[in-house]
Structure 1
Amino acid sequence: MSETLGFDTLQVHAGNRPDPATGARQVPIYQTTAFVFRDADHAAKLFNLQEVGYIYSRLTNPTVSALAERVAALEGGAGAVCCSSGHAAQIMALFPLMQPGCNVVAANKLYGGTIQQLGNTIRKFGWSAKFVDFDDLKAVEAAVDENTRAIFCESIANPGGYITDLDAIAKIANKVGLPLIVDNTSASPYLCNPIKHGATLVVHSATKYLTGNGTVTGGIVVDSGKFDWSASGKFPSLAAPEPAYHGLNFHAALGGMAFTFHSIAVGLRDLGMTMNPQGAHYTLMGIETLSLRMERHVANAKKVAEWLEKDSRIDAVTYAGLPSSPYHSRIARICPKGAGALFTFAVKGGYDACVKLIDSVKLFSHVANLGDARSLIIHSASTTHRQLSPEQQIAAGAGPNVVRVSIGIEDPADIIADLDQALAKATA
């Protein structure tokens, strides 16, 4: 699909061709485990990566491939790989880069589950993470050492909606010769294109805005195709002989598609974190209206944040779309179409008032999710960020007096009315 097509066109047509067998206009759900080979020679070439095609749905599936192509087109990437969840996407992104003893430099303002994954779980692989305030550029560069293999951040950080200066972080990544991985879940490719700002890899939880209706768990990794994996000798999985494929050097053989092919041929083959075709189909449907939904999400979030900021029952609002936000100046450069619809607000009365607020909403759904068409609310300190220390919670923007909201596409007056009545009960 041509890069010259507009976003609204790509979100409908990228990866979507009439089915060659039936002429079906919409991408079919290829609900099959395996694919029949033409003959023995065809099978051998597929397994030896000499020919591109379908073998087994753990590796590739036409429905899932259509989704990968569409998201790669929207992000401006060379290729993409779909997997079972956003967390799986993060592991898939790191898997070809890391070796035991290696580390990743990560922002301290991240989704609590990501801090848990990078701070604790990856240690079981012999990997580690260094968490740094990414607004302190000198600290980011100072954290990099000879064993660092990637720099990781979110474009719009969850839960506070903080906008990362991707240009500045990419400049550091280029200086030290490391790939920059950006989680673009909270922004979606409609609001932010990390690759244009220097990102090497972009990860998504397709569970959120891409699908947009709370029906799918999925993840996607998009590769820019621009990083030189052979330059430093630090990435042998991509730029050294691969024993499983008779010494194939992925980067030498496949160039800008090395990461994508490795993630399928090795990552999905051995880790098995595969997206199912029905999930891919639902996400394809959701993406068709992504720009329309994001425009409404942003417009509603701005109205709700402005109302909250003026309310005497609120101590602070973190929405970057407010002129009072320290991140407001980054919108025009990083997220020119809006600051997203995810943010937090601090309630007078602290922890107890937040809990009462959560229990008093009627229109809002109290769920551990974001990016739904519905407005969602959660108290991060007691749920998504509960496993963190109090200091980590505060650093991540999820202190005990803070509530996170994901503003939906309902009538904004109804969203505000629900918060109004719930705050009245919470602060009485």
Structure 2
Amino acid sequence: MGLFDKLRRAFSAQPEEELKVKQEDEKQAELQEKEVEENETPVVDEASEKVELDSTEPSQVVEDETIDQSVNEIADAENNLQADNQEIEIQNVNELNSQANVDEAKRYDKGLEKSRQGFGAKINALLANFRSVDEDFFEELEETLIEADVGFETAMNISEQLRAEVKLRNAKSKADVSDAIIEKLVDMYEEEGQNEDNSLHFAKQGPTVILFVGVNGVGKTTTIGKLAHRYNMQGKKVLLAACDTFRAGAIQQLAKWGERVSVEVVQKPEKSDPAAVAFDAIKKAKAENYDILLVDTAGRLQNKVNLMNELAKIKRILQKEIPDAPHEVLLALDATTGQNALTQAKQFKEVTDVTGIVLTKLDGTARGGIVLAIRNELHLPVKLVGLGEGMDDLRDFNAEDFVYGLFKGLVTPKKD
């Protein structure tokens, strides 16, 4: 079953969600009640019983066979209780995992609300004057998709594919045409992402080094601070490197994040050589057994040559100490800038080996369609997304939750 079909079935199940939540709550309460009852089962004190048996009169002494039978019954009861408790524990873990998945989907649902409304409004505006699927319709469709920030190439590809698809389906109603558009977007997105790796990679041994690039103001330093908080809360030893030494206030900003999340920051005075900061940081990370080193860098795209040389020098310093470093090169993009973010990504891709995208401020924009453009045109995986201003709102990217959040309410429910 394709992603579009899964989503369609999920949309059709929405009216039953409240009932399911209620049933899940009742089931959880029943499990907790059962656990309390079983934990209150009297525990037999074998030593006490043995003393009582030994102190009784000979006429009151129980036969050895009866004693053995009682002990065996007690042991069986304890084993059964332990097995029941293990089963309950497994059920509770499964319930927690299931709830975590639901919570994550809700984050995307809420975080993509503006994008969903913006995208839906554009599709609805396109279909408002819908009369027939002719050449004028496809020209308007291309403009609509470009305005929705799905990218020029993606818009052209979708339009071309739909010319044949709409005729094949004999789509005439607004709902049929809308579904055909969204299905093509989802199918193209799914096809491009078949071999995509959205996970962050960590070193098998020694510190994991993650290099961050991106222009000023996209939320790069904030992303580093939130990621440092995540790993610190996981019990990992985290170190930050303030290698953006040219922008006024960049060092202080990262230092404040370090204080806020209780993580040490390696820094030098403003205008220092960024590679020198990287050298001190990687040496410290190795000597003091840090798990993760997060490296901030400058983003002066107006001078590509200097930026390229600077990033190359930092990478050489890191690789001299750890040959396979950096393990990730993450490009931070501001989702609110739409097509400008796509332009930045293309430029950074030219000057450094970007391994993934961090899309910040996704919750604050109607331009969530930029994720489709990044995958379809740049062939770069989105690895992290900002779904809010909270410390825990930097989330691992989930393609299904993203597509669900973007197109929820725009797809005709599946009829069984």
TM-score normalised by L of structure 1:
0.32
Relative to its length, the structure with more strand (as a share) is 1
TM-score normalised by L of structure 2:
0.33
Q: Say which one has the larger Rg.
A: 2
